Amino acid sequence: MTSTTFSMEELVSLCKRRGFIFPASEMYGGINGFWDFGPMGTELKNNIRDAWWHDMVHCTPDGPDGEPLSIVGLDSSIIQNPKVWEASGHVGGFNDPMVDCRETKSRYRADHLHVITNCEGGGRMYAFVDGDQESYDRASKLLAKYEKVDSLEEGYETTLLVDLESSDFERVVGPDTKEVGTLTEPRQFNLMFDTTVGATGGEDSKAYLRPETAQGIFLNFMNVVDTMRVKVPFGIAQIGKAFRNEVTPRNFIFRSREFEQMEIEWFCHEDEAKKWYEFWCDVRKNWWKSIGLTDENLQMRQHESDELAHYAKEGCGTFDIEYKFPFTDPGFGELEGVAHRGNYDLTRHGEFSGKKVDYFDQLKNERYVPHVIEPSAGLSRGTLALLCEAYTPDDRPSKVYMKFHPRIAPIKAAVFPLVAKDGMPEVAKKLHDALKKRWVVQYDVKQSVGKRYARMDEAGTPYCFTIDGDTLQDNTLTVRDRDTAGQERINIDQVESFLSEKI
């Protein structure tokens, strides 16, 4: 079954029940936009993180002509000198215009609102939140009632709220009201969290929690060039927390206020930017597929020119890798952006710091500020996509199993003694001790074996090994496959090679 056959409530409930994700500060009623990863969620997220680091940094793919490529890693500070954010363009406009509802006090990102209206113009316009089916259904229903029609199939159109004239706003009904004219026009709103550095406080000691990991990479570009014998083209990769005071955190961990990013800044010569842009779009889409996202749930979308961020106005543009989440279905939501950032960031840091930021290419005998192609992925959002993809309703006792790719499954295998007597636990324990040195393997002896299988199905464990009476006679055990629930017998000495082959 596909990921579209269940509701988000069901997934959120499994995540809670099986220790993947909990609301942060749950004991105190939670805090909007923050989440804690439980034991299972931490393993899952770490596996995705490690797969990315392994595949991008340690085993960087070869280039378009088969040439070896180089990416080095970095772990920069979350708090940097506040001037960094002036140079990057985040202070003084990070960077999303907002719309407030005067009646409900709700706040929306202007570029996330659409209105649906009569093509002839002049009538009411009903606003809804992009990618939110419920909001769309509400707006359509109210419009149909207002227009006294049964269907909106003909004669009605949808437009972006930001494309409306100022004078149109008095005809707009907000996504959560029934009154016209309650929405303000879009206004700038700063999404950065600030904090105070040192004991004295005051404006001078104000600093910011980074809203993206990318700037730490630009700040260290010259350090890496001077110390690591790297030659353009090359990349710097970083994984870490980012913070955005999102106006409307929503859809579970899809849009939260604290999240993790996995970013590569690929430094290249301007003349080669297009080639690398295409290369990275391809590599990154295939990577998500390699860890389990299916083609039918992935889509590549080129940004329209009016959507581009300030740093990407010129050049090759931005490509979003999008996933069909249950709450966007039949539409898609961003998972990763691949952007040509030009040489905006390095140039600005050069200007604002007064330090030289450039690169001398000995082969070409040319000094220049490299251009950047940036594949910027959400680790938290990627974890959500993989949870959605894995969630498989079924008629087995657990009613659902998590079909994780073995590489990212939080637990790779479980070892069960059929019953806790007759020497079975001793054999099972010995097998568990051998396997756990290489993989995350769980030993479970409690309850019936059916219940143990069900627990492992919900945790997404690909294989269970059961030691029974026959094991003591002939050294064989049962392997149960999560996806087919099929069982076969193999020799206990083959378990390690069986798992290495499968994982």
Q: Which residues fall within 8 angstroms of residue 189, CB to CB, at 6 or more apart?
A: 96, 97, 98, 107, 247
Nearer CB in complex with ligand ATP: 253/409: 253
Q: How far is the CB of 221 from ligand ATP (least distance, A)?
A: 19
Backbone angles phi, psi at 180, to 5 degrees: -85, 155
Q: Using CA atoms, how far apart are residues 11 and 241, in angstroms rounded to an integer?
A: 24
Nearest Cα neighbor of 264 from 396, 394, 366, 375 is: 375
The rounded distance, in Å, linking the Cα atoms of 471 and 54 is 38
Between 340 and 480, CB nearer to ligand ATP: 340
Minimum distance, C-beta of residue 311 to ligand ATP, in the bound complex (Å): 11
Nearer residue to ligand ATP within complex by CB, 117 or 261: 261
Which residues are registered as beta bridge partners of 487?
Answer: 480
| Cis check: omega of the bond before 417, within 30 degrees of 0 | no
As given in the structure block, the two tokens for residue 313 are: 């106005």
Q: Shortest Cβ distance from residue 376 to ligand ATP (Å)? A: 4
Residue nearest to ligand ATP (CB): 378
Q: How far is the CB of 237 from ligand ATP (least distance, A)?
A: 14
In three state form, how does the secondary structure of 235-271 look?
Answer: EEEEEEEEECCCCCCECCCCECCEEEEEEEEEEECHH
| CB nearer ligand ATP, residue 216 or residue 337 | 337
Q: How far is the CB of 258 from ligand ATP (least distance, A)?
A: 8
Q: How far is the CB of 238 from ligand ATP (least distance, A)?
A: 13
Nearest to ligand ATP of 246, 444 (CB atom): 246
User: Would you say 95 or 220 has its CB closer to ligand ATP?
Assistant: 95
Q: Is the C-alpha dihedral spanning 385, 386, 387, 389 positive or negative?
A: positive
**Shortest distance, position 110 Cβ to ligand ATP, whole Å:** 12
Nearer to ligand ATP, 18 or 255 (CB): 255
My answer on whether omega of the bond before 425 falls inside 30° of 0, hence cis, is no
3-state secondary structure 415-447: EEECCCCCCHHHHHHHHHHHHCCCCCEEECCCC
26 Cβ neighbours under 8 A, 6+ residues apart: 36
Q: Of the two residues 379 and 464, which places its CB atom closer to ligand ATP in the complex?
A: 379
Both structure tokens of 301? 């979308």
What is the separation, in whole angstroms, between the first and last Cα of the chain?
23
The DSSP-derived string for 21-39 is: EEETTGGGT--TT-EEE-H
Distance of CA 121 to the CA centre of its chain: 39
| CB closer to ligand ATP out of 112 and 405 | 112
Closest to ligand ATP by CB, 234 vs 332, is 332
Task: Output the smallest distance, CB 277 to ligand ATP, in A.
Answer: 15
- How near is the Cβ of 261 to ligand ATP at its closest, in Å? 5
CB of 334 to ligand ATP, least distance (A): 5
E-strand ranges in 89-142 read 98-100, 107-109, 113-118, 125-129
Cβ distance 400 to 394 under 8 Å? yes
Helices 8-17 and 379-390, interaxial angle, to 10°? Answer: 100
- Nearest approach, Cβ of residue 254 and ligand ATP (Å): 6
Strand partners, 302: 319
Contact footprint for ligand ATP (CB under 6 A)? 212, 244, 246, 255-256, 259, 261, 334-337, 376-378, 380-381
- CB nearer ligand ATP, residue 374 or residue 458: 374
